[in-house]
Amino acid sequence: MNIALNKNIKAESVNSLGFNKRPEETRVVVAMSGGVDSSVVAAKLKYEKYDVIGITLQLYDHGQAIKKNGACCAGIDIHDARRIAENLGFPHYVLNYESRFKESVIDEFAESYLAGNTPVPCIKCNEKIKFADLLETAKELKADCLATGHYVRCILGSDGAELHQAFDKNKDQSYFLFRTTREQLNFLRFPLGDMESKEETRLLAEKFQLKVAHKPDSQDICFVPNGSYSDVIKKLRPDSDKPGNIINLSGEIIGTHKGVINYTVGQRRGLGIGGGEPLYVVKINATNRTIIVGPKEALITRNITIKEVNWLGSKKFISAANNGWNIEVKVRSTQPAIPAFVIPLTETDANIVLSCDELGISPGQACVFYEVGTSRVLGGGWITN
């Protein structure tokens, strides 16, 4: 079975990607965003004599993109990826996925915000574009695998491919890849998963004489040019900024707002409500355009409901009986995993009982599962309540 291997996995293979053939006979498509991570992956594999093909996806309007640095797949980043491929001597292609990206990621992002949710478009992009369309393109090019610059690991376990956190927990991106399927993991390679730090990646970039060695990491969602979600949504849905009422937990109207797209659960600033105790957005009712506010304590929760569970565990998700079992979860990408108890309701829905109080959890965010005491990702789902 073709499987993404890391240096800590013993297997009978003759190359570093786990294939039983010479690197020269192994074709690898590298997803190149133009940043330092994917560029190092491409350079490393080229220096190891693999048959490398670079592909960069043009995901949104090039005229807008070329004005913005520090966002993946923007105009200047496409140029950087192309230049690296030319310098290292391997083919590079730019594929126009604007329509597909708009339909599957941008439009869904806008609709989710209009519904009062807090979406995570990078997860949708990985699920619906990079690990779906791009992966199929790699197969059409007769590639043996698709390699990316993500900081995660794929390890060969007793029942096949397992997704694990990166060695460097500060750079770990497993939260954003929880929708990856077992079949996709068999075809994917993550050469940076064993890096001890981002500095090690940049040192490799210097060794390979890559001009992007010190290029800043991407910070924003790629299709949000100025960091303002609401501006993007208003452009896509011109009637999305209709005003409404701000009410307290007793149902009293205490103010007005300028459109639900300007607010997220947990928000304190910019409410336009002066005096008294600090108030936070605790719920958004998009149907009647109402923002509900309350004290900080009203944001506390220990119970969440999730849907569309993608399960990467060793047994069926629903087979652990109605009593559920212990796991660890992340409800935000930037926080450590915390102990929790998952109770499956159906094959794709579950209740999650957290071991400690969490503040400001919003529908639309991801709840990602981890095996207790290990680095293994068990999947996850979308928070609905």
State how far the Cα of 35 lies from the Cα of 126, in Å rounded to an integer: 16
CA distance between the termini of the chain: 40
- Answer for the pair 344, 315: CB distance below 8 angstroms, yes or no: no
Q: CA 71 to CA 222: how far, in whole Å? A: 5
Alpha carbon distance 365, 210 (integer Å): 36
| β-strand pairing of 350-359 with 338-344 | antiparallel
Tokens encoding 277? 């105790």
From 72, 73, 122, 125, active-site residue: 125
Active site annotation includes 125: yes
- Residues 6 or more apart whose CB falls under 8 angstroms from that of 250 comprise none
Q: Does the annotation mark 222 as catalytic?
A: yes
DSSP string, 321-352: -TT-EEEEEESSTTS--EEEEEEESSSS-EEE
Q: What is the dihedral of CA 255, 359, 259, 285, to 10 degrees?
A: -90
Residue with tokens 């574009």: 129
- 243 CB-side CA count, 13 A: 6
Q: Are 380 and 163 in contact (CB under 8 A)?
A: no
Token reading at 274: 């002066």
Q: Is 194 helix (H, G, I), strand (E, B) or coil?
A: coil
Task: Assign 375 to helix, strand or coil.
Answer: coil
| Structure tokens, 233 | 């949504």
From the candidates 73, 122, 222, 367, give the one annotated as an active-site residue: 222
Give the catalytic positions in this structure: 125, 222
